[in-house]
Structures are given as C-alpha cells and as structure tokens.
Amino acid sequence: MTCLAGAVCLSIATAHAADENVVQPKSVESLALAVQLPSDNKVNFRGIVSLDDVSAAHGGVLYGPGPALGLVGLLVHGLVVNSVKESQKSSLQKAADEVLVRYQATLDTLQLTALMQQGLQRMKTTGSKTLIATGARANHAWLIESTPVFSMTQDQKAIVLDNAIAIHAPDSQDTVAYQNIIRIVATPRNGDDIATGWLANNGEKLKEESASLFAESLDIALTDIRKAAGSAAAPQKTVRYPEGGIEKMERGELVSEFCNRVVIKTLRGWLMSVPSLAGSSNGQCEVAAPQTTPVIAPSPTITATPNAL
C-alpha cells in the first residue's frame, strides 16, 4: 500500500500502545495537558478524493514510520493503492480540492493556533490545557503532539478529520506512550445551499465544526490510553455510516455509542467516530461548557491569535 504523493504516514503496526510497561494515567477525567503546536500554523484542508473510477479496496490508507516522525509530514487524506501512479494521485487530489474553491478565502485566514485554542475549550476531558511551541517541553504535564488534517466531502455536507496523535507521559517525554490516528466523520448537514451556511458570519460554522472535531479526537485518544494493556478485544461488527451524503461502512471493534455517534477501533488499528445512520439527520450533541480555559504558554515562537479563527 502507498499514500498520496508527499505524505509521510503512520504505521499501524505501532499505532496503539499495548506495552505493559507504558505509563498510563490513573484518571483521564482531569489531566494536565500540554498540546504542542505543529511547526506550520496553517490549517490543512483538502477535498476528499473520490475513487469511483479507481480500483481500490475500501478504507483509508495512511501507513509509514509513526507519529514521532510522521506528524509533521501527514499532509494528505485519501485512499490510493499501489496500482495508481504518482501523477494519477496528484491529479485525483487536485480534482478533489476543487470543492474548496468557494471556501478558499475563508480557509486562508485560518490559523492552527486559534483552532486548537477553540478545540481545547470544547474538550470533555477536564483539567489544565496549555498550547506550547513546537519542540517545547511540557512541565509535568501529558505532552500531546497532534497534526490534524481536515477534508471536505465532495457534496460539502460534512468535514472529516484525520488526526495523527502521539502522547508522552509526564517526565518521560522522550518516549512515546501512545500513538494512533483518530478519524472523526462529522454529522452531515442538510439544506439547499450548504456552502452559504458554512461561510456565514465569516465562516463561523466551518470554524466551529473543525474545532469540535479536533476536541473529540483528543478526548477519544485520552480515553483510549487509559485502557488496560492487553484488555480483551470487543466483538467485531460492521458499522454503516454517512460520509456526507454517501453511505460508507467500516468493520471493527465497537468501542462506544453516544449522541447518535459510534466509536470503533478499525481493523487497521485506528479509532473512528462516525455518525450513526439513524441519527444522521439530527444535530450533534451540544458541546459541554469548558471546565478550564486553555492558555498559550509564554514563548517567543508563538503568537496568540484568539480572534483569527
């Protein structure tokens, strides 16, 4: 299997920490978290590649050396198999990105610092939350490396987030305690002019949705890390869900069901949160009020831009 051109991808063989010696938080409900900003403050948005005319297996493919090396290089969301040449991959992605033309002016104003700030405020995990500079050390907090890649469905009804996450335990930050890709498929929106809804009020809904997906991906990873190593696998099932207006399916272990959403661990080792078909026409659950306000750690390399999102 290969990735789209230019991507550095995550090895599923090492995607999930299962070593009995891995340090795990005693409680994930209230943690001191330090989320490290990627080196590029630009929000990465792409169009979802349609593979209707490409012979490929179902599912997403993002393989490679692991988040410790691949977080910064994880630039592409999509599915392409070995038989597709590099030029074809590039053409497919270029065509998929046409869906973003109407949104480009708004997307050009997005900054990852502001999106992460808003996302941390929306997290259900309580405790202190701090954004720190690329390469900075966390002070006795759980260090989270995260590179979110956002994609829009071709019908513009939903946003999909692929977030490569690596977590380091306090005072052991040279060692990765947990790593995985978390995929969040947003509940599809309906309406006659979806783009107008996304872009109203300077793209407010687009920004809010992206921040909510980011928050959910961190919550899922932090819940997953506290599970006992070697715990029995749940029975596998096939989950059908909407990706925008298209019905998809994924097989894996059922992790949880809540708010018309389903979380599964896929056969690739990823964690996916998807809308259930029964709840796809309903609004998403309301975001809980933030327990703490995230702050920007003092650093000459970070400029706080809370109003830029």
Query: What pLDDT score does 80 carry?
Result: 40
Are the C-beta atoms of 253 and 231 separated by less than 8 Å? Answer: no
Query: What pLDDT score does 67 carry?
Result: 39
Query: What pLDDT score does 24 carry?
Result: 53
Query: What pLDDT score does 138 carry?
Result: 86
Query: Per-domain residue ranges for the chain?
Result: 18-46+101-296
Sign of CA dihedral 260, 265, 267, 273: positive
Query: What pLDDT score does 86 carry?
Result: 67
**Residues in the chain with pLDDT values less than 50:** 1-23, 26-28, 53, 55-83, 279-284, 286-309
- In sequence order, which residues have a C-beta less than 8 Å from that of residue 276 and are 6 or more positions away? 239, 241, 257, 260, 261, 262
Query: What pLDDT score does 211 carry?
Result: 97
Query: What pLDDT score does 304 carry?
Result: 32
Q: How distant, in Å, are the alpha carbons of 42, 49, 115 from that of 108?
A: 8, 21, 13
Are the C-beta atoms of 81 and 2 separated by less than 8 Å? Answer: yes
